[in-house]
């Protein structure tokens, strides 16, 4: 009899957990998407600010994170690459490791620079594209003489 009671309690607890999980996966009584039923809204200023920050980060990284090109000599070799070559020429394993580190660092910095440039360029494009779309929609809601189309005329096309 004790086993049957424990089993019933375990089944009951499992059902309660499942019901609680199901409640968490619903939109709730307010409906809509997200917290409070608000949709994601992005303004032109938001896009511009993110694009500008990506541009600033790109510029800063390009100047500050370039250890491969820092202290270049007449042959174009940076000071870190020259140090790696000098250590290797003296048969120190650290030279090869330093060169590997330099290569990996340089590749990762270039990847981050490409991502920043892509973000900045894409947001600039999006900002211009949405502005052009808004202008086209605004122009399409005007008569040839420039007067706005009335709401009743728009309603005819929607039905």
Partners of 148 in the β-ladder: 142
A 10 A CB-CB count for 34 gives 9
**Cα–Cα distance, 49 to 46 (Å, whole number):** 5
On whether the CB atoms of residues 83 and 98 are closer than 8 A, the answer is yes
Boundaries of every domain in the chain: 1-37, 42-158
CA distances from residue 148 to 57, 142, 145, 151, 152 in whole angstroms, order as listed: 44, 4, 9, 9, 12
The CA distance from 43 to 53, in Å, is: 16
Residue 37 clears pLDDT 70, i.e. is over it? no
Q: Which of 12-21, 53-62, 92-101 has the lowest average pLDDT?
A: 12-21
Q: What is the pLDDT of residue 8?
A: 85
Give the tens place of pLDDT for each residue, 67-103.
777 777 777 778 888 899 999 999 999 999 999 999 9
């Amino acid at each position: 009899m004790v086993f049957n009671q424990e089993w019933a309690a375990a089944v009951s607890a499992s059902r309660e957990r499942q019901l609680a999980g199901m409640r968490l996966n619903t939109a709730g009584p307010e409906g809509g998407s997200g917290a409070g039923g608000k949709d994601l809204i992005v303004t032109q200023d938001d896009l511009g600010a993110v694009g500008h920050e990506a541009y600033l980060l790109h510029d800063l990284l390009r100047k500050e994170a370039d250890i491969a090109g820092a202290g270049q000599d007449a042959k174009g070799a940076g000071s870190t690459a020259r140090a790696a070559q000098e250590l290797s020429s003296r048969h120190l394993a650290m030279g090869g490791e330093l060169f590997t580190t330099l290569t990996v660092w340089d590749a990762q910095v270039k990847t981050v620079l490409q991502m920043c440039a892509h973000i900045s360029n894409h947001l600039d494009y999006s900002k211009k594209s949405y502005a052009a779309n808004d202008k086209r929609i605004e122009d399409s809601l005007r008569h040839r003489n420039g007067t706005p189309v009335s709401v009743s005329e728009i309603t005819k096309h929607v039905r």
